[in-house]
Amino acid sequence: MGNLLRSDFIKQKKSSTFWVCIVLAFLLGIVMAALYYTVWINIGSSLQATQALMDQMGVEKETFEEALAQFPEPNMFEYANACLSDTNVLYIGAVVIGVFTASEYSMGTIRNSLSRGFSRVQVYFSKLIVSAVSMLSVVAAYVFGGSLASVIMFGFTTDTGKTKIFLVLLAYFCLFLAATSFYMMISVIMKKTGHAIAVSIIFPILIESALGIITMSNHDFGRISRLWLFRTFVTTESMCLNGEAYIPLLVAAFYFIICSATGLIVFRRQQTS
């Protein structure tokens, strides 16, 4: 298993796609921090006037508050959290995982690994571990870019206690592992790089759109819809700060187990030639 992992890490390290995505994630983090800062300066500094304008336009107060909550307050931790809760970075990770995993079929490296005596379980979890490290690397680059920009703007400031910061980071860490297992499962099922990337990006968007429409017509459905993995990211900080850190942790565990089990079952039954 150690030799297999080492080989997979070397292949990923040599992947140009991986490094391009790392750089893009870092730059995107800087850009998003700058955009958030601009919006906060223009809106956050005049909340009463902005809310009055929204009232004149017929926008409900609750809707305005939900929209405003998407923009981080001016301190470093809030900007880092904005990066962690932004599901856009997951799509960059999906590209990295799709290229790394699905391309193994076309290049025949999975078949070669099996012929060397490694079991399908070992091969699958080796890919999963490398994919998880790749996903966390992309996220780290994105958060570093956003945090670097926020430090320049505000310095090392935060209003959140260390214990709660730890809970938030732990919850996000588990959710990113769950997202990795989700994308890995899709890559194994699709087997082709282009198909894997397309499904990994489009499928969550379709689900998100459907949940959004249902929630608009039935507000009671809103809390249930947060159990969808990609919606849990958005509410993770608030749940952790409100003593509900167990919710994102349970959601992450559920998706990780289901997606890993499904992907492994499919992988063990499919032909790799």
Residue 30: other Cβ atoms inside 10 A: 18
Domain ranges of the chain: 2-26+73-269
Indicate the DSSP class of residue 160: S
Residues 178-200 pLDDT 10s:
999 999 999 999 989 999 999 99
Q: Would you state the pLDDT for residue 60?
A: 54
Q: What is the pLDDT of residues 15-65, one digit of tens each?
A: 999 999 999 999 988 888 777 777 666 665 555 555 565 566 555 555 555
Rounded to an integer, the average pLDDT of 124-149 is 91
Please check the confidence at residue 68 and state whether its pLDDT lies above 60.
no
Sequence letter at residue 109: T
Binned at pLDDT 50, 70 and 90, residue 244 comes out as confident
Specify the 3-state DSSP secondary structure of 216: helix
Asked whether residue 98 carries a pLDDT value surpassing 70, the answer given is: yes
pLDDT at 150: 75
* CA dist 196 → 28, 66, 104, 181, 183 (Å): 23, 33, 12, 13, 8
On average, the pLDDT of the chain sits at 81
pLDDT tens-digit profile of 79-91? 677 777 778 889 9
Report pTM. 0.82
